[in-house]
Structures are given as C-alpha cells and as structure tokens.
C-alpha cells in the first residue's frame, strides 16, 4: 500500500511536469526551426499530438499482446472502450488547439506570423496551391475527421480490429503532422520573384527521416522486449489490479 501511495504522488507530479517538458521540447526542436516565428499555443499542440500518438501505440501494443496470449482473458471490451474514448477526446482536443492557433494568427493578420501558414499553402512563384496544401487537407480530413467520425460509434471503440485500424490512422497521421511542422521552409533563391522558394513536400533527407523513425522505433521495441522478458506483463502485486481487470463489469 505504501508503494501505491508513493506512486500516486509521483504520477500526480509527473502530469504537469510532462506537459512542461513536452512544451519545451516543441519549442526547442520544432518551433526553433523557424526561429523568427512563434506561437504561444505550440506547446499545447505538441502535448495533444503526443498524447494522441501515445494512445495509438497503446492500442496497437495491447492488441498485439492480446493476440499473442500475454493479455488473453485480461483485456476486455471495457478497456478498449476507455481507450477509444480517450482517443476521441484527444482527437477533439488536438483539432481545437490546431484550429485555435490558425484562427488567432489568421485574425491578427500579422506578417511575422502569417508567413508560417502561407508557405504551407501557396507557391510563392506561381501563387497557386503548393503540394503542402494537400498535406494540410489530409491532416484536416484524414487525421481529424476520419478518426473523429469513426470513434463516435460505440462499436468502433469495442471491436478490436476497428480500433486497431483507427490507431494506425492516427499514428501515420501524427508522423505526417510532425513532417508538416518541421520540413517546410523558405530557401533563398535570388532568381525567384519573391527572393525565395518553399521546400517541396518530398525534400531533404527523406531516407534519413525514415531511418530515424524506424531506428528509434526499433530501439524502443528492443527495450520493451528486453524488459518484458524480465517482468510480468501486468503488475500482479498491485493491490488494485483486480479492480482494473474487472473494470466496468
């Protein structure tokens, strides 16, 4: 019981600490790529995206563990329903923050801020929509509306296969969202009318980016497999484990 109370205190303090650290990470690793642009909502956006991706990975992981026998007879519809509800909640929260940031910058119409969205919408040479505009539409309809509308239905949240599909949609969409925030930039070109061009969608070190995703993913997977070989899949000594297993029964 003493360990349980201590972990409660640590986890309670960890929630705001996680939010602060994720915000600082967003500022230093993403917003700093365009050092003369800023948004006070950027840290909250990154926090919402991180939770969405964490929930998606949790759904995928629990599905694999359940099919592999580690969680067979333990993971039930009530657990999947709660995970689906959390995915729905943070999908709405992510959309709210993303739209609020866009709406505030659009309403203020300050050049020092609006250019960040302009280079993700327009080609400065032709004035037509750029290929980043397609990514914007994908984030709106594929990363928000598709999971949002599907997760509104109860059966989507309790059927393992459907919830797994939505989790993959969110995970892939989250990678595109990070790419959308990190890659577009102004490249100096004295021959262009505006003096610069916008980096195209498939630009930069795409192979290295993919290697980074699979590399870090492989490291995390390796650490998980290593720890799972030494510890139980569920905390069998937790005094509230039975309450968790029989949740909503």
Q: Are 120 and 133 a contacting pair, CB within 8 Å? A: yes
Q: What is the pLDDT of residues 199-210, one digit of tens each?
A: 777 765 677 788
Instruction: Please list the rounded mean pLDDT of every run of 10 residues in the chain (249 residues).
Output: 82 91 93 88 95 96 88 87 97 97 93 88 74 91 97 95 97 94 74 66 72 88 85 79 78
For residues 67-90, one letter each, b for 16 or more C-beta atoms within 10 angstroms of the residue's C-beta and e for the rest, the string is eeeebeeebbeebbbebbebbbeb
Give the DSSP H or E segment for 224. Answer: helix 206-228
pTM of the model: 0.88
pLDDT value at position 45?
Answer: 96
Q: Are 149 and 143 a contacting pair, CB within 8 Å? A: no
Q: Which residues pair with 129 in a beta bridge?
A: 122
pLDDT value at position 1?
Answer: 66
Q: Are strands 196-198 and 186-188 parallel, antiparallel or unpaired?
A: antiparallel
pLDDT value at position 168?
Answer: 97
pLDDT value at position 227?
Answer: 84
């Amino acid at each position: 019981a003493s360990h349980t109370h201590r972990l409660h205190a640590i986890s309670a303090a960890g929630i705001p600490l996680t939010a602060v650290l994720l915000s600082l990470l967003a500022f230093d690793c993403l917003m700093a790529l365009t050092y003369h642009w800023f948004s006070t909502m950027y840290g909250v956006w990154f926090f919402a995206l991180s939770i969405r991706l964490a929930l998606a990975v949790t759904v995928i992981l629990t599905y694999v563990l359940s099919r592999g026998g580690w969680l067979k007879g333990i993971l039930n519809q009530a657990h999947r329903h709660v995970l689906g509800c959390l995915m729905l909640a943070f999908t709405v929260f992510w959309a709210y923050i993303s739209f609020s940031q866009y709406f505030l910058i659009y309403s203020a119409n300050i050049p020092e801020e609006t250019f960040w969205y302009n280079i993700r919408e327009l080609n400065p040479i032709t004035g037509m929509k750029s290929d980043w505009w397609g990514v914007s539409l994908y984030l709106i309809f594929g990363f928000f509306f598709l999971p949002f509308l599907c997760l509104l239905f109860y059966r989507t949240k309790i059927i393992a296969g459907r919830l797994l599909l939505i989790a993959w949609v969110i995970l892939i969409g989250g990678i595109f969202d990070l790419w959308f925030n990190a890659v577009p930039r102004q490249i100096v070109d004295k021959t262009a009318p505006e003096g610069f061009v916008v980096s195209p969608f498939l630009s930069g070190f795409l192979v290295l980016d993919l290697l980074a995703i699979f590399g870090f993913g492989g490291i995390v997977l390796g650490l998980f497999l290593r720890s799972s070989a030494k510890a139980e899949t569920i905390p069998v000594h937790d005094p509230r484990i039975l309450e968790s297993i029989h949740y909503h029964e």
